[in-house]
Amino acid sequence: MNDIVSAPARTQPGALRASLLVKAFDGREVLCRLDWEVPQGRVVGLLGRNGAGKTTLLRCLLGLSPVDAGSIEILGEPMDEPRGERLHRIGYVPQSFDLFPWMKVGDFLTFTAAFYRRWDTALVERLLAEWQLDRKKKIAALSQGQRQMLAIVRALAPDPDLLVLDEPVASLDPIARRDFLATLLPLVRRPGKTVIFSTHITTDLERVDADIALLRAGRIALMRPLSELRAQLRGAVLTRAAGFTAAPTLEDALSARVREGQARYVIDTGNAEIAARLQTLAAREDARLELAPLDLEDLFVELA
């Protein structure tokens, strides 16, 4: 099975570039010579199974966790350590927000604003009102979802050029998720603004029409616009009376597995030769061949 990373031509400094990243825990490599390039001005959804290393990757990219090998550039500069002017251009929302529980919401935001050259007070006030966050309430008294929304406010207020979100809406109800996405998109759909966020909620990625990056086996196995994935990737199913115990080899298949006795593949119809290979394989195995489009959740299940 082949990986299908698509790297754009570099006409300007990218938002992010990682080369041959290695990160191991207790002797197990979580990131395995990972390469990844994200151009400016894109919204990228990072998908991967639980334990695939999504949080580890994001923390390494931002300099919050040291790498064992490899190099990182953020906004065109080496990410030797998180410091200097670049920090004013990066927003980050971790999986959980548990800082400063004794502070009130308003005091926390005033305190945070002092560290940034750009701070959009009007945006802060609008988001606090829209998301019903009480300035006078202590952070410790907020629900987990409200804390996450506060973390998002903090990340958006400096008008970052790169916004990194690690499961930002996992604690939010469906209505709050829609409100967040409705607020986020107008802010980031501007020249030079880039968003990278990991999530398991594939419907959110479909709603924002994000580029999709798949982390699998310690590497970025796929990086494509969602519209392209919908247009070109298909599920192929081989069915025969005797069933299958293992999926026959299909060159250039993006995934191959057996489910309920059927051999199932994901193929890229942009590959002119794979259709002929499928027909030949079906005839050889005396199997019926069916092709069907896949939504993003199906793609995630099949590829991850």
SS3 content of the chain, % helix, strand, coil (to 5): 30, 30, 40
Among 161, 186, 217, which residue terminates a domain? 217
d(CA 178, CA 62): 27
| Average pLDDT score over residue span 198-210 | 78
| Average pLDDT score over residue span 292-301 | 84
Are 163 and 211 in a shared domain? yes
- pLDDT score of 1: 54
> What is the per-residue pLDDT across 226-267, written as a single tens digit (0 to 9) for each?
888 888 899 999 999 999 999 999 998 989 999 999 999 999
Are 177 and 268 in a shared domain? no
Are 64 and 138 in a shared domain? yes
Query: Does residue 222 lie within any of the structural domains?
Result: no
- pLDDT score of 280: 94
Query: Does residue 224 lie within any of the structural domains?
Result: no
Are 182 and 249 in a shared domain? no
Are 237 and 196 in a shared domain? no
Query: Does residue 93 lie within any of the structural domains?
Result: yes
Query: Does residue 225 lie within any of the structural domains?
Result: no
Are 144 and 268 in a shared domain? no
Which pairs count as long-range contacts for 262-266, CB under 8 Å and 24+ apart, including other chains?
Answer: 262/237, 262/238, 263/237, 263/238, 263/287, 264/235, 264/236, 264/237, 264/238, 264/302, 265/235, 265/236, 265/237, 265/238, 266/233, 266/234, 266/235, 266/236, 266/294, 266/299, 266/302, 266/303
147: amino acid identity, one letter:
R
> What is the per-residue pLDDT across 23-33, written as a single tens digit (0 to 9) for each?
999 889 999 99
Range of the structural domain that residue 71 is part of? 4-217
Are 149 and 282 in a shared domain? no
Are 31 and 92 in a shared domain? yes
Query: Does residue 223 lie within any of the structural domains?
Result: no
Query: Does residue 64 lie within any of the structural domains?
Result: yes
> What is the per-residue pLDDT across 37-76, written as a single tens digit (0 to 9) for each?
999 988 899 998 888 899 999 999 998 899 999 999 998 8
Are 200 and 292 in a shared domain? no
d(CA 14, CA 73): 8
Are 237 and 262 in a shared domain? yes
The DSSP 8-state label assigned to residue 144 in this structure reads: H
Q: What is the pTM assigned to this prediction?
A: 0.85
Query: Does residue 227 lie within any of the structural domains?
Result: no
**For the ranges 10-24, 114-128, 228-242, which has the lowest average pLDDT?**
10-24
Q: How confident is the model at residue 3 (pLDDT cuts 50, 70, 90)?
A: low
Among 194, 217, 240, which residue terminates a domain? 217
Are 206 and 236 in a shared domain? no
- pLDDT score of 35: 96
Structural domain total, the chain: 2
- pLDDT score of 278: 92
- pLDDT score of 4: 54
Among 165, 184, 217, which residue terminates a domain? 217
Are 283 and 210 in a shared domain? no
| Average pLDDT score over residue span 151-180 | 86
CATH number of the domain where residue 138 is located:
3.40.50.300
Query: Does residue 34 lie within any of the structural domains?
Result: yes
